[in-house]
Every structure is written in C-alpha cells, then in structure tokens.
Amino acid sequence: MKLYKGFLHFLITLVSMFAFLMGWATLAHSLKPAQPVKQEALAQLEPLPPVGLVSMPSSSGGVQLFSSSRPRARSMFVTRGS
C-alpha cells in the first residue's frame, strides 16, 4: 500500500509539472495583444450635467431610492449563547 501511495504521489507530481510546462509554453507562443488605441481615435463624450440639475423622482410618485426605516435581517447563523 505504501508503494502504491508513493507511486500515486509521484504520478500526480509528474502530471502537474507537465501540465504547468505545457500551459507556460502555450501562453509563451500565443498571439501578442493588439496595439493600444490612440486617444484621438476614441469618441469624445459629452460632460455629465451637475447633480443639482438632474431631475429626481418625487418621493410620493417615484421610486424610493433609499430606505432607512427597513429592519435589519437577522442571520440564521447567529448564536444565542448557552
């Protein structure tokens, strides 16, 4: 059994090293990344409006963004002590 276990450890080590080296060789011979795009080629974006000018939904008819009155959910893994 000890001989079998030693052989199994050796085999796993050998296969792991082979896979590592094959992955390294694959990445070393893969295609190189494309050249970076120049800044002039990118589309110019319009600046965002200031926060004060953005229309927010009203609290009565719109979507409520934040709720501070929500009770905290209790975790089912909280211990109560002994």
Range of the domain at 24: 1-28
pTM: 0.39
Taking a C-beta distance cutoff of 8 angstroms, is the pair 56, 62 a contact?
A: yes
Residue 5 resides in a domain: yes
Residue 61 structure tokens:
């008819």
Residue 79 resides in a domain: no
- Summarised one tens digit per residue, pLDDT across range 16-58 is 999 999 999 999 998 887 777 666 656 677 887 787 755 655 5
How many domains are there within the chain?
A: 1
The CA-atom distances, in angstroms, between 67 and each of 32, 57, 58, 63, 82 are 50, 15, 14, 11, 35
- Summarised one tens digit per residue, pLDDT across range 7-19 is 999 999 999 999 9
